[in-house]
Structure 1
């Protein structure tokens, strides 16, 4: 198995002055192409620290992709750091300089003397022409391993990753396994409850199964490695079938399916329109449903701490006014100790009510309440 690591370079990243989107971009590309990402890291603009990070990474992995530090200024020291980490000298490359000059001409400019730094790379490097910027990348091959240095500008990095780096990896290194993932989405069941029922699956090494909790929902991510896509898909399907058997209607969808979509799809399937009333939510429920104009008739925001019977009366009134067969009410009451949530779904087939206490972080209470309300719709239709 070919292992890869990512090293982003830049003191501004360490200080939190800019958000690192490059690691995510590279990680997704590696995963989709079957390379096992072993570790990621960030280091400042210091040649010695870059060198240490490079040599450490190559002790563990066959591929190291660096991002950043290839500009023309004195603090762009990735070239020096990589060379130092590999015990190589730097050399000026006329072919890279010609590419840089041509790029500047295309921009209607002339390169300055410090741009010559960008044509300086570790001895023996494979140059990576950059047709969307002025900083070439480079690849150093050593003992069957490769250090791939890319510019940190996201648009340039993305272009070089797709058009240069991935084709290089496919032709020069061991053919990777196929890595595929699937996310099974659940609602109305807690992370602890879920963990107790799938612990055996979570202990597997291939495919792997992991949990990610969100307010009112838990995602189950399945990742499989195999020689072919078909084999990987079969592994994913096998685990998903087991989850379906154990969790039943706790599962509302997979991958990009949202709880909002799942709930409103049930309303659409039943041939109804839905009206809503809410209290203590600042209109969050109506905002969540507003994109489903075909089946969402509209809603009303009521005063905070409204009595339950008044809420129920308001729901009936709004349903009648909007000629909506189905109705959803949500009441959120916040105290110093916790948040009390009541969600009630009313339809021609009957009522479904969920009452919960939420003791988590206050900013998550609204999202938890919305998840609870949508789950009431879904379960109310599935279990009339």
Structure 2
């Protein structure tokens, strides 16, 4: 048992994640385990400082294990526990701790029984999964055939888990986290709240929260997306109630500075926010879009408040845009018209978003100079931000 007392305010153990698999490096599949484990670790107050993806090479894996264990108390590995000859996690762990692999007859019996229950005869290769580094703690895998294991040396712990996400998540929640909490005398938790800002450049957001970014606990961090900036508030505390209080004390002045620039929190999305606003207004709209893709039509056309959605690949000259579209507003019911136009030029992506109604007309023109791969997201987020900022004007006109 590791006797490394950890308090909320003291030095908590830090963790490192390693995902194993050449298929990850080739882009054949995406590593989702790192995301899941990271969220689990913050719930038990373990700092995560680094994550690495490495291919199926036993020497490089063993070297990485040794390197990681010199800088991190807890190293959690996913993948490489299958029955094939290129599943090297077991061998690499044994090399890193300078021990032999030991055959566990009881594990082999469990593996064979699991195959038999499915009417399958296990192959000789499956016996590889019953070999575990000497002195390791075996972790039962109730959902698969690949058992995990943990190896400890002093205050360091290497945790090796199967790469199948549902198997990894079950073992982490049921076995690994309780073990780490007890072994490292962990207390408290890390809690995160994310405020979503649209229509404000990242540099301006950074300027407005710069004084908070020097805080140690709670902390502030930024993450930029096309047209959106996330403000991440993180608190370490002895209880969830205390963490909420710390985050709220930081969130309050930030909201005062940004006002309506903040549109949502945590899992709330800009498109859902706008759809809710349109629904709450309780009137019909017409949507018109021109561009190489029907981006806004695909996002909003199924809303019950959109009376009809029209799309064209023909982009009209900007100077004649409103004259051409205004006729759509001349209808018996006088429904407001949302219009969105986007096109490519040598200088970047151009977009125009506008609203035309009998009592209110407004538009905005924008240019995007960032990576082309993010162009569609920028177009939609910029247009959605325009809608959310101007819908209150439509509501006021209606009333």
List runs of 5+ in structure 2 lacking aligned partners: 1-11
Choose which of 285, 300, 311 in structure 2 pairs with 1:274. Answer: 285
Confirm or deny that 1:32 pairs with 2:43.
Answer: yes
Q: Determine the structure 2 residue equivalent to 1:354.
A: 364
Q: 1:224 to 1:352 in 2, by over 3 A?
A: farther
TM-score, scaled to structure 2: 0.88
Choose which of 120, 128, 141 in structure 1 pairs with 2:152. Answer: 141
Q: 1:332 to 1:56 in 2, by over 3 A?
A: same
Q: Determine the structure 2 residue equivalent to 1:21.
A: 32
Q: Determine the structure 2 residue equivalent to 1:367.
A: 377
Rounded Cα–Cα distance in structure 2 between residues aligned with 1:45 and 1:51 = 11
> Offset at 1:315?
4.0
Choose which of 126, 142, 161 in structure 1 pairs with 2:137. Answer: 126
> Offset at 1:121?
1.0
> Offset at 1:313?
4.5
Confirm or deny that 1:197 pairs with 2:199.
Answer: no
> Offset at 1:360?
2.2
> Offset at 1:349?
5.6
Q: Determine the structure 2 residue equivalent to 1:336.
A: 346
Q: 1:266 to 1:155 in 2, by over 3 A?
A: closer
Equivalenced residue count is 383
Rounded Cα–Cα distance in structure 2 between residues aligned with 1:91 and 1:303 = 66
> Offset at 1:63?
1.4
Asked whether the equivalents of residues 2 and 174 of structure 1 are also in contact (C-alpha less than 8 Å), the reply is no
Give the match's secondary structure for 1:108: coil
Give the match's secondary structure for 2:35: helix
Asked whether the equivalents of residues 337 and 359 of structure 1 are also in contact (C-alpha less than 8 Å), the reply is yes
Q: Determine the structure 2 residue equivalent to 1:4.
A: 15
Asked whether the equivalents of residues 226 and 232 of structure 1 are also in contact (C-alpha less than 8 Å), the reply is yes
Q: 1:33 to 1:345 in 2, by over 3 A?
A: farther
Rounded Cα–Cα distance in structure 2 between residues aligned with 1:228 and 1:63 = 23
Choose which of 218, 233, 243 in structure 2 pairs with 1:222. Answer: 233
Q: Determine the structure 1 residue equivalent to 2:61.
A: 50
Asked whether the equivalents of residues 210 and 222 of structure 1 are also in contact (C-alpha less than 8 Å), the reply is yes
Rounded Cα–Cα distance in structure 1 between residues aligned with 2:253 and 2:263 = 15
Deviations, residues 188-216 of structure 1 (Å, cap 9, x unaligned): 11111211121112222322222222222
Q: 1:367 to 1:97 in 2, by over 3 A?
A: closer
Rounded Cα–Cα distance in structure 2 between residues aligned with 1:340 and 1:144 = 57
Asked whether the equivalents of residues 326 and 356 of structure 2 are also in contact (C-alpha less than 8 Å), the reply is no
Give the match's secondary structure for 1:42: strand
> Offset at 1:151?
1.6
Rounded Cα–Cα distance in structure 1 between residues aligned with 2:199 and 2:310 = 25
> Offset at 1:6?
1.1
User: Taking CA–CA contacts closer than 8 Å with sequence separation of 6 or more, which of the two structures ends up with the larger relative contact order?
Assistant: 2
Q: Determine the structure 1 residue equivalent to 2:260.
A: 249
Matches within 5 A, 1:148-187: 148-187=159-198
Deviations, residues 120-163 of structure 1 (Å, cap 9, x unaligned): 11122221122222111111222133211112223322222222
* More displaced stretch, 67-76 vs 321-330: 321-330
Give the match's secondary structure for 1:180: strand
Rounded Cα–Cα distance in structure 2 between residues aligned with 1:372 and 1:75 = 47
Deviations, residues 159-198 of structure 1 (Å, cap 9, x unaligned): 2222222232233332243111111111111111211121
Confirm or deny that 1:111 pairs with 2:122.
Answer: yes
Asked whether the equivalents of residues 31 and 179 of structure 1 are also in contact (C-alpha less than 8 Å), the reply is yes
Root-mean-square deviation over aligned CA pairs: 2.4
> Offset at 1:223?
1.6
List runs of 5+ in structure 1 lacking aligned partners: none
Asked whether the equivalents of residues 272 and 324 of structure 1 are also in contact (C-alpha less than 8 Å), the reply is no
Rounded Cα–Cα distance in structure 2 between residues aligned with 1:144 and 1:378 = 53
Rounded Cα–Cα distance in structure 1 between residues aligned with 2:119 and 2:232 = 49
